[in-house]
Chain A
């Protein structure tokens, strides 16, 4: 028997594959679930505040998102991907941005837009050009404007603080109308808004957790907040009677959830250092521009969409590889 034959006729069959033979154990599932865990403080706060309707929206949204993903898996005859937790994450983030009284059909439609149009038709996870959740909210906002009128949506609630959606008040009635909101109150969630978007402290803690664990890129969050701060500061200095201060802008609307959970979505954000800084800062500045001189109440959604759009271009700014000439 020759050596080659001896090698072939070996009793044990071994696993043969290419190097490296180690993996650090990270996975998409782990990533999705940790982002959801980080979002929990803000979500639970919203549930405590708005009660059963909030639970209903969160639960229905997560289930719908998973359902749409599953349906798409069957339609396209691809392997099941709901196990990676990404669809559930999309559902959760969607629920965090909407009022607790959002009708069921809007949740169904919104998650459809997020999962199918935002993610699956681009080719699934990793291929989406836009953040699916942000895209869904934008389409709902354009299609059914009133759904996102938080003052109207939450009319039947009377919690122990000013029942005004702060940035809407600012938009319509100017900075005097928001004097009753202190930074501390806003941080502790004493404001109305999306189910998981008002508890600033919880979102910040969740965001810091994700940064430390390396699940989101700190460059994007930090520059987003800096962009908001700087732009709002300049407006405020220019005309304090028309434009609110930077702290107000950071603590209201979707700014914090946008900085830590929306702008940082992997597929639609850059990975190189300079592009990340530009992307974050650009989204931050655009947010304030839209809020202060644009037509919309909150600019975070459109700011992130616009920056998603330029992301592929931005990410071309990259360091030169070793040995690359010219």
Chain B
């Protein structure tokens, strides 16, 4: 945990974790019994049938989907469907959870290989939407918002995490071929690979511009990369794709490269595991592996009232069960001991100004939080720059009153999102709003 320094006058500087000089050896996780794949669904939609049912045999790389929906998941293992159930995630996100019992042998679905000779955007859309690193395929295929610039982030988006740095160091060849393929299939003329400042690399021309960002959190956040490297500011109500820019992780680019060179859809996710004592290890596991399996392989035990976090300490998501599966975008697992969990409080803002000084988006948080506490979300958005928030979590970290400011901000955005859907039901296309 990062403690307030004795000298409070200078702004605190939180450094991203740098990859050690000696490349860490990731632990291969062998899944014990079953994996669970989460297929994003819309609960309103009821007239649908899943392409598989309980008891069906599944091959590695096989697509599982609903008959009248574009969304799908790729099975990361060979086995038998043991259960299908619904599952609710953070902020009411709705999933269909498909559990698969692993069989002893592996059989690979060969459908994808037929298309690998000539990579195309359609192939990527049909097979690579849930590769490790979470390829943002929906943004790349949207004809209304053509992507001109692709930013591949070799930085990790949270403290203590070095998944992407490891991928860059260990598998630059896949990234290189991934960049070539992405260039070809998307027609994006500018590809930038972003590395942390001082990151030592030997790769020569990889077909992309190389830029560096500061190692102080949150310099690797897409908004700040946009501002500092591309020299452009995203208006608060717009998204990156509105400006023709698409961000993706180095792992996603590597997955694209691996997929088309090997003819198999990559299913193994690299994960940084942050232990209770804040030591960091790397693990490689199939998507869908329960957190429990990873922890037991690494010898981490969980006790009552510990905290299990998917993601890093600043922006991750706490889950209530160690059965929770690894998702394509799970860059890290963090475990906190019950004794080290800081609690939030219901104290009011005392107007100390620490959040204002640390906010990279220059939001008047001391005023914003007063409105958010009172549930006045629209006023907060109009007057106090709610939508400028880049969601780094620094305000909550330094809050003297221990107000869960970041949570209030996310809740406000979520509630306003729901309101706008309720007000304009015709616009609701059911599309992914990420």
Contacts and interface: CB of A to CB of B under 8 A. Distances in A.
The yes or no verdict on A and B being binding partners is yes
Interface of A: 1-8, 10, 12-28, 31, 84, 123-127, 211-215, 217-218, 266-267, 269, 271-272, 315, 318-325
Contact of B334 (A4, A21, A320): A21
B307 A21 contact: yes
A212 B400 contact: no
B153 to A, nearest CB: 18
Given A214-B8, A324-B388, A15 B306 contact: yes
20 contacts: A2-B83, A3-B99, A4-B85, A7-B87, A15-B305, A18-B406, A20-B393, A21-B342, A24-B397, A25-B4, A26-B400, A28-B400, A125-B348, A212-B7, A271-B352, A322-B227, A322-B236, A322-B362, A324-B235, A325-B235
Interface string B387-428: 110100110111111101011001000000000000000000
B399 to A, nearest CB: 8
B257 interface: no
A26 B348 contact: no
B103 interface: no
Contacts of B410: 18
A1 B84 CA distance: 10
B363 interface: yes
Contact of B233 (A4, A211, A214, A323): A323
A272 B364 contact: yes
B348 A13 contact: no
Contacts of A10: 320-323
Contacts of B1: 22-23, 25
Contact of B314 (A17, A22, A215, A320): A22
A21 B316 contact: yes
Interface string B27-39: 0000000001000
Interface residues of B, number: 85
A14 B318 contact: yes
Contacts of A123: 348
Nearest to B98: A3
Given A4-B97, A26-B398, 5 more contacts: A18-B406, A23-B402, A271-B351, A321-B362, A325-B236
Contacts of B407: 17-19
A25 B342 contact: yes
B233 A322 contact: yes
B254 to A, nearest CB: 26
Nearest to A8: B321
Contacts of A325: 235-236
Nearest to B314: A20
B356 A22 contact: no
Given A126-B348, A323-B233, A323-B235, A5 B318 contact: no
B318 A15 contact: yes
A211 B336 contact: no
Contact of A20 (B238, B323, B406): B406
Of all A-B residue pairs in the complex, the 3 with the closest CB atoms, nearest first, are A214-B8, A271-B353, A2-B85
A286 to B, nearest CB: 21
B315 interface: yes
A108 B142 CA distance: 71
B351 A126 contact: yes
Chain A residues touching B, majority SS: loop
B341 interface: yes
B195 interface: no
B317 interface: yes
Given A28-B401, A126-B348, A271-B351, A14 B319 contact: yes
A7 B315 contact: no
Interface string B94-106: 0001010000000
Interface in B354-369: 354, 356, 360-364, 366-367
A10 B304 CA distance: 11
Contact of B97 (A3, A16, A31, A320): A3
A206 B202 CA distance: 53
A15 B307 contact: yes
A290 to B, nearest CB: 26
Count chain B CB atoms within 10 A of each CB in A124, A213, A323 and give the residue with the most: A323
B349 interface: yes
B203 interface: no
B342 A22 contact: yes
B108 interface: no
A30 B83 CA distance: 52
Contacts of A217: 353
B361 A3 contact: no
A213 B302 contact: no
Contacts of B352: 31, 266, 271
B229 interface: no
Contacts of B319: 14, 16
A289 to B, nearest CB: 27
Nearest to A13: B304
B13 to A, nearest CB: 12
Contacts of B320: 7, 10, 13-14, 16
A18 B236 contact: no
Contacts of B325: 3
Nearest to A323: B236
A90 B109 CA distance: 73
B4 A26 contact: yes
A212 B227 CA distance: 32
A272 to B, nearest CB: 7
Given A14-B318, A17-B344, A27 B400 contact: yes
A16 B344 CA distance: 12
Contacts of A19: 309, 311, 313-318, 393, 396, 406-407
A20 B313 contact: yes
Contacts of B236: 321-325
Contacts of B366: 271
A126 B350 contact: yes
